[in-house]
Every structure is written in C-alpha cells, then in structure tokens.
Amino acid sequence: MERVVIVLTNLRNKRHKKRLRPLCCLQDDTGAYNITQCVETCNQDLDGFYDFNDCGRKCFHGGSFVTDVGNGSCVCGERYYGTCCENRLDICEAIPTDVVFILDSSLSQTQTEFQKQLDFVGKFVDNVDVGPTAFVLSIITYSSTAVVEIEFDDSNSKQSIKEQLLGIQFRPGATYTNKGLELARSLLSVRMERRPGMYTKKIAFVLTDGLSNDRTKTEVSAKLLKGEAHVVAIGVGPEVSHRELNAIASPADDYSLSYVYTVESFDALHTVLERLIDVSCEKCQPKSLTDIFLLVDDLPDSRMTVTEWQIAVNGLATIVDGLQAFNDENGQRVGIAQFPDTNDPIKQLSLSNTLRKDDILHFLQVMAHSEDTCRGTKDDCVLKSNITSIIQNVIDNQFTSSFGGRDDARKVLLVVSSGRFSNITEVAEQMRNIRLHTDVDIFDIGPGGDVDMRGLKSLVSEPSRVFVVKEDSDMASLDGLQAKFSYIACG
C-alpha cells in the first residue's frame, strides 16, 4: 500500500516559523486517505493540517523509513512499533522473540537425561510470556538426524507447548550437532516481524553433553546460524569441550554478557535458567559493582609448573583487560595476591579505586613463579597452611573496607590453582563449611592440561564455576567467566 505524509503546522501564529510534523498514513480500501483515522491512530491533532507529500522518510520516536521494491515501511527504535512507530511496549512487556531449542538426543546420554532437557524447556516456558506478540518456541532434536518436534506456529500458548513436550521421543544415535544447527537456521531464516516495525529477537539454545562427531561441520553450521540468531551454547557433562562451546555460541555483545554456559549434569540446569531468560523489564539492567580478588595458589603441594604458571598469568591478564567497567564509580575493582606456604601473601595488590588496568597487568608480569621449597618427599614437608585456610583468610580480610572493599558491591573470589591437593576430600569438606558462612562468590581457573578436576571442583559450589584453560589459544573459554563479573539487578 502507498503511504503519504501529512504535514502539520501551527497556522494560528503567523509570526512564528512553521514547525512541520510528518506522519505516515495508509490508503483505505477505496484508495482514499482516511486522514482522521490516521491521525487518531498515531495520536496526532488535525489542527493546522495543510498539505500532503509522498511518504517522507520519517517515522516517530527515532524510527527510520525503509523502501523495499517500491513499497516502504517504518523500522522502529527500541520497544516502539506500529505503522508510524507510534506505539510503545509497556515497561515489562516482552519484545517478540523466536526461540528454538536444539536438544541432544544422541546415545551419549540416557532416556532419563534426555527427559531432563525437556523439563528444562518446560521451566523456561513457565518463566516467559508465551503468545503471538511475545515468546514463541520451536524444538529440534538431533542425533544421527535432526527432527523438528514443535513448529513455531504450534507454540502460541504455554498449555500447547506443555502438551507437545509430553509427546517428544528420545531418538538415540550419533552426535551430529551440525544437523541440528542447520535445521534451526532454516526455521529462523523465514521468520517475519510479529509487531509492525519492531525487530523480532531470535535466540537459539544448543544443549549438548559431549563433542560433536564432526567438529568442522559443526563450526561451519554454527557460523551460519549466528547470522540469524543469538546462539547460546549449554555444555552438559564433565567431558564437554569449552572450545566447541565457544565456537557454537555468539560472542558477548551489548545484548548479553555471555552466550556460553556449562553444567556438569542435567540436574544442574536449573541453576542457569535465570541467566538464560531475557530480562525484558526496563527496571532490570546489568550492574558491574563488583569487587574481584584474584588468589594465585603457590602452595608446594599444588604448585603450578612453569608452563601452567604462564598460562595462568596470561589468563588473568585476559580477564582484567576485558573488564568493561574497571574502576568506574559503580564498576569493578580488582585485587590480587600470590600465596606461597603461608597465610601471608608474598606479593599483593589490595582492592583500590586508584589502581589502573596497567597497574594490574604490570603486577602480573613481574609476579615470579616460586621454586620448590620442599627438598624431601611430601611426607617430609610440613605445610604451614593449606588452600582452605588461605581462602578463609582472603574472605575475612581482603573484601573489608580497610583493604578497599565496598559494602554494597558483589564480592567475587577467583582462585587460580592446579587443583592437585594432597587432601581433596578434606578440602571439599572445609570448603562446604566456608561457603555456608560467606556471601563471596567463588570461581576457579585451572591452567594447563594436567590440572586435577576433582581438586578444582572441591573449591566451588557447582562444576560450572570451574574454568580450564589448556593453552594460550584457549583463552576464549574465559568469556563466560568475564560475564559473571556483572549481574542483573532490578529496581
């Protein structure tokens, strides 16, 4: 249909310069321009109307007019929609979003574990608005082949989705992740806007518990899918590859701080559910008021090798360099300490609002790898401290105001360690007790390919808080960790 612009001006005061207000209108079925209806639709006043022009390249509220093969329409700004971008979503009303879940149905898991993926989709549905102008879903399962289990057009209500979930069958086979990604792209590529002028968000969730059979094809298919949607990769299981997750997932951007998540088992999927659901309420926004303390484990029984040490230093430098709100008034502060065989650090920088990134990066470069101080066997050496006593020391002291901590900041402790503790069972028990009595979030990084995952897991509340960097080229696996240094806060 042809569009015109009605130009309005104030004709009652000839001494003032004309103030033109353009307005796009549509012809009615007879070919006439229904000015009254158009003005009412766009909430304008007819007073002073005096001219028509060809539909003029302008739309309300920052929208832009786009011509397409002789026709044109308004492309609206954030949260605006309508022929003239005249309407605005309510403060917590959902933006139209197409979501496709790509679920692993391969033989590397059981029927029970597959059901947990379906339960995860059900929980997602419970937490979003489902409907033609809100969230609609499609579900794909993949193994040796990929199958569309629920079409977008069949998911316009929560009840409909829940009923269809009950009928999805476990289809065991090989892990051809690329086939699921390709099918998702074909579904999303033909999706159209669901509110006039408003961009429809597209999100693809890829759940996998292991490596794909053809990594090259998976990476190619993921790249094409990322051209259509924001892709979230959820790795499940102890053998999952961080490198493959990062190849599948979209890079961090203004829309999301990270698209990579990992959990050890499907039982833990509920712990990431809140992080995955888009917060459409405008009162909610990312916050970066976070005090971060980097603890470098240099104890004799878990001391890193020279190679591991260098990977650890490079990893910490990558994290610090990537902090977007470092030392802003409401941003991140960073402290760091290297602990040898004592509760007193050999090198330390306390949390401070005067530190620059260059100060932290220089500290990391001059922080020296310790030599073994124990000349006999481990049984001959008596440790003055262990990893748990050092962690308790940091929690008790480094986040206090006397060391530069802020009472209203989120507190994060990042432990860098090989995890090769001589008493892992004891460490796990002591850490459970420490976590019960602190509000400090604890994560850890294991550098190199010879870390002890049991030891690293003993320090944290869930396996998704463990990040392993096997070599310098693996630093992309830390993207998800950087995102955790910001958080969603709602007023």
Query: Is residue 269 very low, low, confident or very high in pLDDT (cuts 50, 70, 90)?
Result: low
Question: For the chain, what percentages of helix, strand and coil (3-state, to nearest 5) are there?
Answer: 30, 25, 45
User: Does 417 have pLDDT greater than 90?
Assistant: yes
User: Does 237 have pLDDT greater than 90?
Assistant: no
Domains belonging to the chain, first-starting first, are 3-88 (no CATH), 97-282 (3.40.50.410), 285-372+385-490 (3.40.50.410)
- 256 versus 65: the higher-pLDDT residue is 65
* Residue 115 φ/ψ region, left for φ over 0, alpha for ψ in the -120 to 50 degree band, beta for the rest: alpha
pLDDT at 257: 54
CB 105 within 8 A of CB 171: yes
- 228 versus 29: the higher-pLDDT residue is 228
Query: Is residue 368 very low, low, confident or very high in pLDDT (cuts 50, 70, 90)?
Result: confident
Query: Is residue 60 very low, low, confident or very high in pLDDT (cuts 50, 70, 90)?
Result: confident
Write the DSSP assignment of 284-312 as a string of letters: EEEE--EEEEEEEE--GGGPPPHHHHHHH
- For residue range 243-255, what is the model confidence (pLDDT) as tens digits? 788 889 888 765 5
User: Does 11 have pLDDT greater than 50?
Assistant: no
- For residue range 275-288, what is the model confidence (pLDDT) as tens digits? 566 545 555 556 77
For 39-44, which contacts have Cβ atoms below 8 Å and span 24 or more sequence positions? 39/6, 41/82, 41/83, 41/84, 41/86, 42/82, 42/83, 42/84, 42/86, 43/86, 44/6, 44/8
CB 167 within 8 A of CB 194: no
- For residue range 62-98, what is the model confidence (pLDDT) as tens digits? 888 877 644 677 888 878 888 888 888 876 677 888 9
Tokens of 62: 């920052």
CB 295 within 8 A of CB 339: yes
Averaged pLDDT, 416-422: 94
* CA gap 218, 211 in Å, rounded: 10
Averaged pLDDT, 125-130: 83
User: Does 428 have pLDDT greater than 90?
Assistant: yes
pTM of the predicted model as reported, rounded to 2 decimal places: 0.59
Query: Is residue 138 very low, low, confident or very high in pLDDT (cuts 50, 70, 90)?
Result: very high
pLDDT at 91: 66
CB 458 within 8 A of CB 427: yes
User: Does 340 have pLDDT greater than 90?
Assistant: no
Write the DSSP assignment of 113-131 as a string of letters: HHHHHHHHHHHHHHTS-BS
pLDDT at 489: 58
- 380 versus 393: the higher-pLDDT residue is 393
pLDDT at 31: 46
Q: Estimate the crossing angle of helix 424-436 against helix 387-397, to 10 degrees.
A: 20
The pairing of strands 441-447 and 466-469 is parallel
